Chain A
Amino acid sequence: DQQVKQNSPSLSVQEGRISILNCDYTNSMFDYFLWYKKYPAEGPTFLISISSIKDKNEDGRFTVFLNKSAKHLSLHIVPSQPGDSAVYFCAATYQGAQKLVFGQGTRLTINP
């Protein structure tokens, strides 16, 4: 049972444009969501998070949007840069839980 789903295994975006990565979840108990970026042969790096009491959180070029009614979140990167090419994982958790539930990841490629 995949509670967190990233339905696009890959995404290709031109440098300077906006990258939009999507994530859906099924467990209505989830109340905190995170995005991680991962380069090959490295550990994931925490990017940005959002609590369910908000619908948007912004940090520099990264913005996460949460639509609770649709159980959907998205990560916007603008403008996209070549260094953004990586695999992006969304993750979810709920208060009292220790572990994160990860999606399958989306490989983002930024083309010059």
Chain B
Amino acid sequence: GAVVSQHPSRVICKSGTSVKIECRSLDFQATTMFWYRQFPKQSLMLMATSNEGSKATYEQGVEKDKFLINHASLTLSTLTVTSAHPEDSSFYICSAREDRGPEQYFGPGTRLTVT
């Protein structure tokens, strides 16, 4: 149980374009989903917390107009990187949490490369 999927697993896009990453909880309803970013040899950096049906809460320093998050249903959240630049190249990971506990279950991650 507690399986989270992400799509795509890796994506290459040109500078200036937008790319959407999907995160799905496959066998549970996720009232809260989280988006993280991981730089090489560094820890997980929380970007934002999203609750189903409401606006995401962004961490300090994360541009909400650049990283658009939508949590339209209890099983799906999307992260759209708008007007991507090479410095946005990173490993993006989502996680999902049920109401019954604080454990977060992570997706497999998406490697974004902006050329």
Using a CB–CB cutoff of 8 Å, the interface residues on chain A facing chain B are 32, 34, 36, 41-46, 49, 89, 93, 97-100, 102-105
Contact = CB atoms under 8 A, between A and B. Distances in A.
B108 A42 contact: yes
Given A43-B4, A99-B34, A32 B43 contact: no
Given A98-B32, A99-B34, A99-B49, A44 B43 contact: no
B104 A46 contact: yes
Contacts of B49: 98-99
Interface residues of B, number: 25
Contacts of B104: 46, 100
The list of the 6 closest CB pairs from A to B, nearest first, reads: A43-B106, A104-B43, A44-B106, A43-B109, A43-B93, A43-B108
A36 B102 CA distance: 13
Contacts of A46: 2, 103-106
B68 interface: no
B24 to A, nearest CB: 13
B46 interface: yes
Given A43-B95, A46-B105, A49-B103, 9 more contacts: A42-B108, A43-B6, A46-B106, A89-B43, A89-B44, A98-B97, A100-B104, A103-B43, A104-B42
Interface of B: 2, 4, 6, 32, 34, 42-44, 46, 49, 51, 91, 93-95, 97, 102-109, 111
21 contacts: A32-B102, A36-B106, A41-B91, A41-B111, A42-B108, A43-B94, A43-B95, A44-B93, A45-B106, A46-B2, A46-B103, A46-B105, A49-B102, A49-B103, A89-B43, A93-B102, A97-B102, A98-B51, A98-B97, A99-B34, A99-B46
A49 B100 CA distance: 14
Contacts of B108: 42-43
A34 B97 CA distance: 14
A34 B95 CA distance: 14
Contacts of B111: 41
